[in-house]
């Protein structure tokens, strides 16, 4: 699509939009379901009602055949070309633990690892230490001081942590120190510039602190990435947006595009419904709602759990809609087929209800009906213009 076209046509009004994302929603034919998908097999009267009165289609998250991570897949849904707006692994890790990154911060993922007496990596994950142990080790590293930068070390999970360097003119053209295989030494950091010097010094100090620990006596660094600020969803689409998500990474990605992050208490669909209401009362006109369990079930290959996760969302849907939306979109960020136990490239069903739609094509929300739906197949980045148009927020192009 012509870049900047949508932004030029944006016109503000009072319409309210809900973008509800059932993570990993899409699936493929499953034998134990008689060839149906979990979405087809699930009892979803609320979504079926919206499907009948709205329009369905399928979105392609990145490009045909490309399997996305949840980060880029969400950026696509928010109208950001995920290939243009790339978020490095290190940045996603820091956002994932709720760290507030600033423009120019350099972030990297940490793996605690085991070295033998010759300095050779014998376990790249230090025996998958517990998260408690990880927190303990991170506490040993937080006091590392390096001239020219402020350093933050954050625990993630098990053997995983991350580090953020805050300073001036840092670069992220730094290779992984993880050799990728056991039996090799960590890859040395050889560059002569300031950023390489900082990383070298951090590794050296971390090595001194951890040398007597067992099994995690060193760290490997991967995925160096600079945090770059994106144009906000308000600047681009004139929306005052809020995120109602329970998992840190999704709050992080929403924060990247300038959404306000709502607190959810309790941390379940009840708390989310309250947060949706509060966001609307607070003047937000675009709410991103995230529902995680379908993706986790898909990654576990648990068909029944995925069906339950979808049904749970459907039961909670009236409480989300109660606050009053003019346009509602329900979709997934990508497919997580249970037989694959992984994210996949398959297109994802989209439901748009509200505003003028070619309705009557569908009677239920499913992959099959989405294929025959009025919206056809389109790129994930086109969802945002469709929602803006449905909400009367896009003016005509030309006379
Ligand atoms: Zn996802």
Helix intervals (H) in the chain: 5-9, 38-41, 45-53, 70-77, 89-96, 131-141, 194-210, 233-237, 248-256, 269-281, 293-300, 303-321, 367-371, 383-390
The token pair at 105 is 């911060």
Q: How far is the CA of 207 from the centre of ligand 1 (A)?
A: 35
Domain boundaries, the chain: 5-82+231-390, 92-226
- Spatial separation of the C-alpha atoms in residues 372 and 158, rounded to whole Å: 44
Strands 260-261 and 55-60: unpaired
Q: Ligand 1 mean position to 139 CA, how many Å?
A: 30
User: What phi-psi label fits residue 355: left (phi over 0), alpha (psi between -120 and 50 degrees) or beta?
Assistant: left
The predicted pLDDT at position 1 comes to 59
Q: Helix, strand, or coil here: 344?
A: strand
Per-residue confidence (pLDDT) for residue 97, from 0 to 100: 83
- pLDDT for position 341: 95
CA of 249 to the centre of ligand 1 (A): 10
Q: What pLDDT is attached to residue 88?
A: 87
pLDDT of 138 reads 97
Query: How remote is the CA of residue 48 from the centroid of ligand 1, in Å?
Result: 23
Task: Say yes or no: domain 5-82+231-390 is CATH 1.20.210.10.
Answer: no
Does residue 318 sit in helix, strand or coil?
Answer: helix
pTM reported for the whole predicted model: 0.87
pLDDT of residue 2: 67
pLDDT of residue 241: 97
Residue 8's contacts (CB-CB under 8 Å, 6 or more residues apart) are none
What phi, psi does 151 have (nearest 5°)?
A: -115, 135
End-to-end CA gap in the chain: 20
For residue 297, report the distance from its CA to the centre of ligand 1, in Å: 12
Question: What is the mean pLDDT for each group of 10 consecutive residues in the chain (399 residues)?
Answer: 86 97 97 96 97 97 95 96 91 86 95 96 94 96 95 93 96 95 95 95 97 95 93 96 91 90 92 97 97 94 97 97 96 97 97 96 95 96 98 94
Neighbours of ion ligand 1 (CB under 5 A): 23, 70, 295, 333
List, in sequence order, every residue forming a beta bridge with 394; answer none if it has no partner. Answer: 10
């Amino acid at each position: 699509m012509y870049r900047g076209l949508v932004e030029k046509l944006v016109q503000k009004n009072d319409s309210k939009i809900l973008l509800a994302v059932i993570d990993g929603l899409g699936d493929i034919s499953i034998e134990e379901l008689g060839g149906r998908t979990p979405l087809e097999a699930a009892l979803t009267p609320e979504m079926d009602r919206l499907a009948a009165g709205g329009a369905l289609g399928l979105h392609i998250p990145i490009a045909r055949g490309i399997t996305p991570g949840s980060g880029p897949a969400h950026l696509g849904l928010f109208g950001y070309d995920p290939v243009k707006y790339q978020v490095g692994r290190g940045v996603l890790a820091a956002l994932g633990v709720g760290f507030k990154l600033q423009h120019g911060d350099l972030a990297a993922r940490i793996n605690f690892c085991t070295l033998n007496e010759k300095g050779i990596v014998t376990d790249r994950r230090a025996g998958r230490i517990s998260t408690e142990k990880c927190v303990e080790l991170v506490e040993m590293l937080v006091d590392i001081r390096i001239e020219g930068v402020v350093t933050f070390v954050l625990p993630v999970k098990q053997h995983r942590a991350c580090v953020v360097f805050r300073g001036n003119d840092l670069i992220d053209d730094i290779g992984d120190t993880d050799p990728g295989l056991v039996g090799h030494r960590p890859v040395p950091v050889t560059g002569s510039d300031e950023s390489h010097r900082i990383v070298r010094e951090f590794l050296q100090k971390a090595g001194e602190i951890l040398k007597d620990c067992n099994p995690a006596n060193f760290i490997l660094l991967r995925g160096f990435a600079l945090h770059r600020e994106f144009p906000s969803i308000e600047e681009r689409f004139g929306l005052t947006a809020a995120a109602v998500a329970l998992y840190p990474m999704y709050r992080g990605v929403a924060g990247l595009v300038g959404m306000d992050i709502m607190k959810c208490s309790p941390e379940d669909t009840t708390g989310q419904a309250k947060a949706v209401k509060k966001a609307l009362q607070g003047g937000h006109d675009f709410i991103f709602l995230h529902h995680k369990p379908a993706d986790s079930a898909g990654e576990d290959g648990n068909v029944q759990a995925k069906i339950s996760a979808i049904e749970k969302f459907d039961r909670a849907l009236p409480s989300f809609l109660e606050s009053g939306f003019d346009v509602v979109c329900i979709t997934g960020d990508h497919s997580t087929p249970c037989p694959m136990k992984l994210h996949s490239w398959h297109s994802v069903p989209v439901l748009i209800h509200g505003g003028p739609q070619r309705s009557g094509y569908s009677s239920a929300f499913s992959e099959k009906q989405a294929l025959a739906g009025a919206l056809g197949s389109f790129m994930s980045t086109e969802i945002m213009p469709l929602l803006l148009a449905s909400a009367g927020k896009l003016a005509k192009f030309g006379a």
